[in-house]
Chains A and B, each alone.
Chain A
Amino acid sequence: MNPAFNTPRRFGLWPGLIVALLLAVLIVGTLTAVGSASRPFSVAVTLFDPYFLQVVQFTVWQATLSTLISVILAIPVARAYARRPAFIGRGILITLMGLPVVMPVIVAVFGIVAVYGRSGLLNTVLKPAGLTLPLEIYGLTGILLAHTFFNLPLAVRLILPAWDQVTAENWRTASTLGMSSGQLFRFVEWPAISAFLPGVVVIVFLLCFTSFAVVLTLGGGPSATTIEVAIYQALRFEFDPGQAAILALTQLVLCVCSALLLIRWLRVLTPTPGRRNDPAIRPDTAARSGKLLDFSAILVCSVFVFAPIAALVLSGLRGPLVSVILDIGLWQAAARSLGIAVTATSLAGVMAFGLATTARFLTLERRKHQAKELMLLIGSMTLAFPPMVIGTGLFLIALRIDLVGSITLLMIATVNAVMVLPYLLRSISPGLISSGQQYQKLCAQLGLRGWQRFRRVDWPMIRRPAAFALALGGALSFGDMGVAALFDTTGHITLPVMLYHRMSAYRFDEAAVTALVLALMCVALFWLVDRGLSR
């Protein structure tokens, strides 16, 4: 091997290693801090308690079902969007597909209840006819419904780029061969989709696995409890951080195993450098039945997603709009949330890039594909690690160093950054790796490195998925309620916390308006970043 090729390359290992180390320290450190604040307990008693086993079983079961439903239903919708690349409003619809997952969960759940609940829109419409909706929203059904609401649109957006992987020649060959729509899917589209599926399935599964507010509100009762809920209870009501730590570790282990299993089981093809999907050359776009199918899928999906959101908007508009909007405190809270979101996303962006660069280095130059997968997994694992444990741990550590108070918002941003990291990482790593595959030798030859390489070569390749992930991360952080509630934000609350305060003070109508403002700002932020960066 040419030595000149080797020496400067060792630096490629550092960024990812540093970030991975920081993450490991964070997780281990917080586990230790939390664990050491505990009283003695028995691991075996906790883990083999029959109720706990039931909890684990339920967690896995609802996560599996939710993932299956969301991803399987997402495929025809994504296909519909791919087949119809130029209809009015397509861009807006696709951007808004990212909405449900960034809305504060409790706000979205209220929207879902407003549509599907016992006194919801659907039941109200059916009542005069003497019918009721055949589903009872409180229980597994409700959980699956809510999870599908959050994850189906996300999956659609994450799978859609798969069609960019199909080459023009493939379409043309298929059209010469006279392939039907079904055959097209089988031979041309499915291989491209299946390259994207592992990443999508892992993220959706982890999201559903660690689901919290949805399960607690729509679960219907303690038979629907997830591990995350158990951790919350251990930390808050049992005052048993040690047990929380053990539960968090169990969740982490289970998630890692599931993720590894999923990745192994689903065929993983390295995506080839993507071209823009040129739809005019698909042979099956003209068929009327195809058009009907596609637009039905898009319509049904859109209605499913926007109905709860519309319900929220309506209930917000019915509230005391003027008094809430004129309250300067609202906008101060919003500004704080924005500040946190920007910081968190920037931090996450830097970390994700570090990890992805090293992953690329490992796989392209050292041919250590397993190591690359490991690196990506480490980055994704924070999805499985409860933010409340990280938050508590950070708080304890800060306590020891006597730093509490002025850096509360910074700590919130850090925890948010770590939560957002997996999305960012999963979005930019395929693009970064294919950019490397295509241009590695060229860059080496031209001496194109570091910032220049990023700006000229890598960024254009990862721009679109990165824009989405950054927008997602920013909006998630903006609308986050859980992490902010862990820290003392008296006097400088964020917008979601203000929402919660209003709800706790009986002011549900004002809360509805606040929720509307929050949702609108989430959308606006998401839109600006997503559209702005992908131009």
Chain B
Amino acid sequence: MTCFRLLAALGAGLLTMIGLPTSAATPTLTVYTYASFVSDWGPGPLIEPAFEAHCGCDLKFVGVEDGAALLGRLKLEGSRSSADVILGLDTSLVTEAQQTGLLEPHDLNLGAIDFALSWSDPVFIPYDFGYFGFVYDSEKLANPPTSLRALVNQPQGPRIIIQDPRTSTPGLGLLLWVRKIFGDNDMSAWAALSPRIVTVTKGWSEAYGLFLEGEAPMVLSYTTSPAYHRHVEQTDQYRVAMFEEGHYQQVEVAARLAHSAQPELAKDFLRFLLSDEVQAILPTSNWMLPAVHTEQALPEAFRDDELPRTSLSFEPSEVSTERRHWIKRWLTTLAR
């Protein structure tokens, strides 16, 4: 390999990496969100042109690995961040997010909005929400457990795949769910469940992938997961086990940043998120339930009987203070 070939290779490599500069004429709104929101299959590519048409500005999404990493990134960047809006945190992280002091109240009048869930926060606005639930393969499991207690206390019950609460939002969701139902008996609940846990994965994708490969009949996911299979794959094979006690709720929120260079644009964007246009996109692109009731009904794939009647949650402040302690209890039980 001659000198020239080596240099050419290096040069070619560098060339493919230099991005082209964008025009600086129109104002730019930078939104930090998690990577799958802006992937080709997420809501990002659909929201971007819609908002740009609406505001006459340039909307730039910055995709960070996932929701929790989002907050981490914000903390790392601090006031130097170029973000105007942060989108994709969930309710278990809002207290910590507020404690950074980097966020600004949205200043929107939410009174007129027909929310699908009860909401009154001055800083965060919800754009979609969902419930955690155990998705199962109806061809492998004919009679899924009908409550969390049943799942935990059935020694011959189905085996499950779950995620690690330290690295995954659904994982944390399950932890909080168990805590909500069992309270101080959470450790014995986990001990009872432990033999049937096939594996604890790092994130949702690994767990769901293993489930689809047939490694376990049940996996911790969202109550909206079966909707995807019905809508896109035209199959009813995958369903969610509805638990009597209720399901733990996850609300995804967005907020403005205090040092944003475009506070009005940011406010506009937050308002835009609650519009019918965006709310109608969300179900089949983010596979979550829209936060606002829209004129359009939900697609058929989203069945009414998969909407939990009881919604469980902890106050964000409680999650923030107790989370580490509860995780430690989980660790102690399972790390034996």
Contact = CB atoms under 8 A, between A and B. Distances in A.
A119 B72 contact: no
Interface centre among B61, B76, B336 (most CB of A within 10 A): B76
Interface in B167-221: 167, 194, 197-202, 204-206, 208-210, 212-216
Contact of A485 (B6, B15, B35, B204): B35
Given A222-B335, A488-B64, A343 B76 contact: no
Contacts of B118: none
Given A216-B164, A217-B199, A342-B12, A490 B72 contact: no
Interface centre among A221, A413, A489 (most CB of B within 10 A): A221
Contact of A106 (B39, B199, B206): B206
A502 interface: yes
Contacts of B142: none
Contact of A506 (B9, B14, B64, B225): B225
Contact of B215 (A118, A219, A497, A501): A118
Contact of B68 (A120, A236, A342, A413): A236
A141 interface: no
A239 interface: yes
Contacts of B166: 222, 233, 237
B129 interface: no
Nearest to A54: B335
Interface string A387-409: 00000100110011000111101
A118 B198 contact: yes
Given A236-B167, A340-B13, A117 B213 contact: yes
B205 A504 contact: yes
Nearest to A402: B80
B35 A110 contact: no
A35 B62 CA distance: 25
A335 B17 CA distance: 10
Contact of A117 (B63, B201, B215): B215
B305 to A, nearest CB: 21
**How large, as a class, is the contact surface on chain A?**
35 or more
Contact of B197 (A110, A118, A221): A221
Contact of B335 (A51, A396, A488, A490): A51
Interface centre among B208, B214, B334 (most CB of A within 10 A): B214
Contacts of B82: 404
Interface centre among A404, A488, A500 (most CB of B within 10 A): A488
Given A110-B213, A338-B16, A413-B13, A504 B35 contact: yes
A492 B19 contact: yes
B112 interface: no
A490 B214 contact: no
Contacts of B68: 236-237
A339 B15 contact: yes
Interface string A478-503: 00000001101110110001101111
B16 A119 contact: no
A490 B76 CA distance: 19
B17 A241 contact: no
B202 A239 contact: no
Interface in B123-173: 164, 166-167
A142 to B, nearest CB: 8
Interface in A190-248: 213, 216-223, 225, 232-233, 235-237, 239, 241
A492 B42 CA distance: 16
A37 interface: yes
A37 B76 contact: yes
B213 A346 contact: no
A342 B10 CA distance: 7
Contacts of B229: 506
Interface string B305-336: 00000000000000000000000001100111
A282 interface: no
Contacts of B215: 113, 117-119
Nearest to B10: A346
Contacts of A399: 76-77, 80
Nearest to B69: A236
Nearest to A459: B1
Contact of B17 (A340, A504, A505): A340
A291 interface: no
Given A118-B216, A339-B16, A505 B201 contact: no
B208 A508 contact: yes
B287 interface: yes
Interface in B227-249: 228-229, 232
A220 B200 contact: yes
Interface in A133-156: 138
A508 B199 contact: no
A340 to B, nearest CB: 7
A410 B14 contact: yes
Interface in A497-535: 497-498, 500-508, 511, 533
Contacts of B9: 342, 346
A504 B163 CA distance: 14
Contacts of A488: 62-64
Contacts of A404: 82
Nearest to A463: B1
A41 interface: no
B287 A506 contact: yes
A346 B9 CA distance: 8
B18 A490 contact: no
B9 to A, nearest CB: 5
A329 interface: yes
B213 A114 contact: yes
A336 interface: yes
A489 B10 CA distance: 21
Contact of B13 (A54, A343, A511): A343
Nearest to A492: B19
A343 B14 contact: yes
B96 A501 contact: no
A316 to B, nearest CB: 13
Interface in B21-69: 21, 35-36, 38-42, 61-65, 68-69
A396 B72 CA distance: 12
10 contacts: A220-B200, A222-B335, A223-B334, A237-B68, A239-B96, A343-B14, A343-B17, A399-B76, A501-B39, A504-B204
Given A407-B17, A505-B41, 15 more contacts: A110-B210, A118-B214, A223-B334, A235-B72, A339-B12, A396-B76, A400-B80, A406-B18, A406-B21, A410-B17, A488-B63, A488-B64, A490-B61, A501-B35, A506-B225
Interface of A: 37, 51, 54, 106, 110, 113-114, 117-120, 138, 213, 216-223, 225, 232-233, 235-237, 239, 241, 329, 335-336, 338-343, 346-347, 392, 395-396, 399-400, 404-407, 409-410, 413, 451, 455, 485-486, 488-490, 492-493, 497-498, 500-508, 511, 533
Interface of B: 1-3, 6, 9-10, 12-19, 21, 35-36, 38-42, 61-65, 68-69, 71-72, 75-77, 80, 82, 96, 164, 166-167, 194, 197-202, 204-206, 208-210, 212-216, 225, 228-229, 232, 287, 330-331, 334-336
